[in-house]
Amino acid sequence: MTGGTRPGEATTKENEHVSGATVWLTGLPSAGKTTIALELARRLRAEGHRVEVLDGDEIREFLSAGLGFSREDRHTNVQRIGFLAELLSRNGVTTLVPVIAPYADSRDAVRKRHEAGGTPYLEVHVATPLDVCSVRDVKGLYAKQAAGEISGLTGVDDPYEAPETPDLRIESQDQTVAESAAAVHALLTERGLA
């Protein structure tokens, strides 16, 4: 039988595997993680990529409702997000995860899950200094902590273990959102993922 496809059958080009990847943006509250992720998502979608942004606040509301902010609950939250990210990524979705994930062992477990499945995983440290984050204070968390209204704020009175060897470190206070997003895009391109 010679070439050609039957009605409804995909062509070779349509059957080519589209590689997804997880880009985990970790950093302090108000570091700029979500802002960078949204700009990067816009760029990738404009290029025709399938993209999802797993926002930490939305995940807590819909997937991790009932979890608190103890070390154990934070670890559980990160593992749930990591599972979802890996599931999406291995199915051809570029998954951007702007989530604090304050503990190195939690982030390492997510990386190992991706590596076990052969799913690309990039860790981006949005390394905005605490004093800059507290001025930005997008959600008013630093002000509430200073007023004694909340405790356990990551980087202030709860630990943040910065990545020692991230795939990319962004000093967001020294560049525009567009430049930060472009840096992550360049990394994806370099790794053959964009």
Q: Is the residue at 120 inside a domain? A: yes
As for how many domains the chain has, the answer is: 1
- Residue 150: what pLDDT? 92
pLDDT at 11: 37
Structure confidence at residue 183 (pLDDT): 98
CATH at 172: 3.40.50.300
Residue 14 domain-assigned (yes or no): no
**Residue 18: what pLDDT?**
58
State residue 49's pLDDT score.
96
Neighbouring C-beta atoms of residue 16, cutoff 10 Å: 9
Domain limits for position 113: 19-190
Strand partners, 124: 25, 168
Q: Which residues are annotated as a binding site for ATP?
A: 27-34
Identify the pLDDT of residue 53. 98
pLDDT of amino acid 2? 42
Q: Which residues of the chain have pLDDT under 50?
A: 1-17
Q: Is pTM beyond 0.85 here?
A: yes
Detail the residues annotated as belonging to a binding site.
27-34
Q: Which residue has the tokens 């979500």?
A: 34
Give the C-alpha separation, 11 to 63, whole Å.
Answer: 37
